[in-house]
Structure formats: structure tokens, C-alpha cells
Amino acid sequence: MRRTSSPYGSTLSFGPGPLSSALKALIGANVAVFLAQSFLPALTWTLGLMPAAVLGDLHLWQVVTYMFLHGGVFHLLFNMLALWMFGTELERIWGTRYFLKFYFVTGIGAAALTVVFAYTPFSFAQQLQHAIVVGASGAIYGLLLAYAMYFPERPIYMYFVFPIPAKYFVAIMGALAFYSSISDSSGIANATHLGGLLIAYLFLKSARMHPLSELKYRYLKWKINRVRKKFDVYSGGRADDWDRRVH
């Protein structure tokens, strides 16, 4: 819940804010493909991620298309809810172009790591070779990690009941994904979840360490501080929502 002001007094609204055009497009595409799956089940075999098909038959498109397939209504619902909850604020910070780049890099990267993991010399990993992985969860886990890095103290309600700071929530989810990837045979692609976390972390860290990105950040920070001094503006409000860098 968040409080907003209006000429008629303050009101309460739920969630991070309205959907942007980019989020509407992503959610719309996921819903449309899910409906197509319902009428054409063969799409799951063609567009879902099967490591053996990616390497053996060169079905390379699967590392992208698997992100738009889902295993059921609740799978779709929770992924799209998470996309809205965590993606809205990140898109405001990054801008639409960077947000979409991050989303697809983490989703595709998670798929690539899943394929690599499936061909490691472990029996629990090799069972993934002919399994079909579907869902946007690789990219969603990447967004979750980014959210925790930008807003580490923000509470996230685990199971919609227990408030946990975002940094601890991500640590718990990462530990569960790691443990499940080596011990669980329930059919949930935990290796893909873990891959999304790893790719997101490497992507954000490499962007921060890149010399041009660092120079651009320093320039923008200097420019903002100059404008503040010129107009006698002093920063206030919540410290975790302003001038936050990834650490």
C-alpha cells in the first residue's frame, strides 16, 4: 500500500504504480502465448527450453521463447504479479531501454546456464537434458535481485504474511534455489532460477565497473548536485530511494 495526494485529500493505492507501456507489452505477450498454448499444446514442445534440442538440433530460439510460456494459470499469475511489483520501480530508475535489456539478458542468460548445467557430469543435472523448461522466472529472479540491491531494506512479504527485508528475502530464495537444483526432482526448474540470480548479479556488477558507465554516473551526479546548489535544493525524504547505487 502507498499513500498519494490529490486535490481532494490523500488516498491509498495498492502496489508500485500503474503499468508502463513496456510492462503492458511484456505481460500482454505472456498472456497471449499462454492462451495460444491452451489451444495448441504442441507449442510447448517447440518453444519451451529443452537443452538437448538447443545443442543437438540447434533450436537456439528456445533460449528466448521459453520465457513467454507457462505451466499453468497460477504460474503465469505469480510471475506477472512479480514483474509488475518489482519491475515498475526498476524501470523508473533505469529507463525503459535499460530495463528491457536487463530483462532479456537475465532471461536468456538463465536459459544458457541451464543448458550448461544440464551437461555437467552429475546425475541430478543430466535429468534436465530432455526436460522442458518454461516460464519467465529466470528474468523475474533477476529483477528480484536488482530490487534487493537497490532497496535492501524494503520489506517483502514472504507468502504474503511475513515481512522480510529484500536483501534477506533474495538470500533465502537463492539458497532455496541452489538446494533444490541439486536435490529436487519435482519438475521445477530451480537451476534456471539460480541462473537468473547469477546473471543479474554479474550484469549489474559489470555495468558498475565499466569505465564509461562509471564516468557517466560521476558526470550525472555532479550535474545534479550543481543544480541543487543553484536552486538551494537539499535532499530529503527516504534515503533508500534517492541517489542509490548498486553495491
Digit-coded pLDDT (tens) for 138-192: 999 999 999 999 889 988 777 667 788 888 888 887 787 766 656 654 455 778 8
Please tell me the predicted confidence (pLDDT) of residue 194.
Answer: 87
Strand partners, 155: 165
Instruction: Give the closest residue to 139 by CA, choosing from 203, 213, 73.
Output: 203
Amino acid at 63: V
- Which whole number is the average pLDDT over 227-237? 58
pTM for this prediction: 0.75
Please tell me the predicted confidence (pLDDT) of residue 213.
Answer: 56
pLDDT digits (tens, 9 = 90+) for 61-106: 999 999 999 988 998 998 999 899 899 989 998 999 999 999 999 9
218: pLDDT strictly greater than 50: yes
- Bigger pLDDT: 86 vs 4: 86
What domains lie within the chain, and their CATH numbers? 19-235 (1.20.1540.10)
